[in-house]
């Protein structure tokens, strides 16, 4: 084992881990305030600079927000895939990897996610998906609502899979390949086709048929890939950039 592998972690990171453990032990939920600075300095036996570095790290990860001013301080938040997306994007940028890598990863992950969701999805999850489909269709001419409901549909299936890692990975990958930031637009005809694909996936989940759910999602991601390959070849083959 090299000496580098034995090097102790930075104090700020160790303290950040202790803060997270404390959040879990206390059962804190989003919106809860953490102990005041003076109390944490005494609890962790560290200096103010180290504590603030620990809190900034947790803020960057999306676990807390730092409210300024009197009565402010660290507040617990519900983390999303933004921090994971940043880490993945940085790694891929240093490899000069193209956006195509993200599309290919989704093409592998989402069928597996749908397969699992078909065996675990609840009636409540199905109701949420049905509501999502209805909102997408009723506002099909509104690109902004379409983008919102399109993303939500995939998030709901990831959550219904019962695998938290799927949910975070899909959130992170979508964050990297956000259609609005890289210039992909969906004309009305394409939006209608996406809704129809989502409807087929939904029906396979209602039937609790994992093989059909997997295949319909594979077809859906395949159609998406063909669309951007044909309309936006410069996008899919462009190197990933952390922006």
Tell me the CATH number at 66.
Answer: 1.10.10.10
- If asked whether residues 224 and 117 sit together in one domain, one would say yes
- If asked whether residues 72 and 190 sit together in one domain, one would say no
Question: CA dist 162 to 42, 155, 225, Å?
Answer: 40, 12, 26
Q: What is the pLDDT of residue 17?
A: 94
pLDDT 10s digits, 119-166: 999 999 999 999 999 999 999 999 999 999 999 999 999 999 999 998
Is 95 among the domain residues? yes
Is 241 among the domain residues? no
User: Taking a C-beta distance cutoff of 8 angstroms, is the pair 122, 162 a contact?
Assistant: no
Is 242 among the domain residues? no
- If asked whether residues 113 and 173 sit together in one domain, one would say yes
- If asked whether residues 141 and 219 sit together in one domain, one would say yes
Q: What is the pLDDT of residue 243?
A: 67
pLDDT 10s digits, 72-127: 789 999 887 778 888 898 999 999 999 999 999 999 999 999 999 999 999 999 99
- If asked whether residues 122 and 182 sit together in one domain, one would say yes
C-alpha span between 22 and 80 (Å, rounded) = 20
Burial state string for 77-115 with b = 16 or more CB within 10 A and e = fewer than 16: bebbbebbbbebbeebeeeeebbbbbbebbbebbbbbbb
Q: What is the pLDDT of residue 7?
A: 42
- If asked whether residues 188 and 137 sit together in one domain, one would say yes
In the chain the first and final C-alpha atoms are separated, in Å, by 36
Specify the higher pLDDT residue, 147 or 243.
Answer: 147
Percent of the chain scoring above 70 in pLDDT: 93
Is 141 among the domain residues? yes
Report the domain count for the chain. Answer: 2
Domain limits for position 122: 82-236
| CA torsion, ordered 130, 131, 132, 133, to nearest 10 deg | 50
Among 15, 45, 76, where does a domain finish?
Answer: 76
């Amino acid at each position: 084992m090299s000496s580098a592998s034995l090097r102790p972690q930075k104090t700020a990171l160790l303290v950040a881990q202790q803060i997270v453990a404390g959040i879990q032990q206390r059962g804190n939920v989003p919106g809860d305030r953490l102990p005041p600075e003076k109390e944490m300095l005494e609890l962790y036996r560290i200096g103010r600079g180290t504590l603030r570095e620990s809190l900034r790290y947790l803020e960057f990860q999306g676990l807390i927000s730092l409210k300024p001013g009197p009565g402010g301080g660290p507040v617990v938040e519900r983390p999303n895939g933004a921090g994971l997306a940043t880490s993945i994007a940085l790694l891929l940028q240093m490899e000069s990897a193209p956006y195509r890598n993200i599309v290919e990863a989704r093409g592998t992950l989402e069928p597996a996610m749908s397969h699992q969701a078909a065996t675990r999805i609840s009636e409540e999850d199905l109701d949420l998906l049905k509501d999502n489909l209805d909102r997408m269709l009723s506002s099909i001419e509104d690109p902004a609502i379409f983008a919102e409901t399109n993303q939500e549909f995939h998030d709901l299936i990831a959550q219904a899979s019962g695998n938290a890692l799927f949910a975070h990975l899909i959130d992170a990958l979508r964050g990297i390949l956000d259609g609005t930031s890289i210039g992909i637009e969906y004309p009305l005809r394409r939006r209608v086709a996406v809704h129809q694909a989502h409807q087929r996936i939904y029906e396979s989940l209602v039937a609790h048929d994992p093989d059909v759910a997997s295949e319909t999602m594979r077809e859906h991601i395949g159609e998406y890939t063909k669309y951007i390959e044909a309309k936006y070849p410069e996008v899919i083959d462009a190197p990933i950039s952390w922006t």
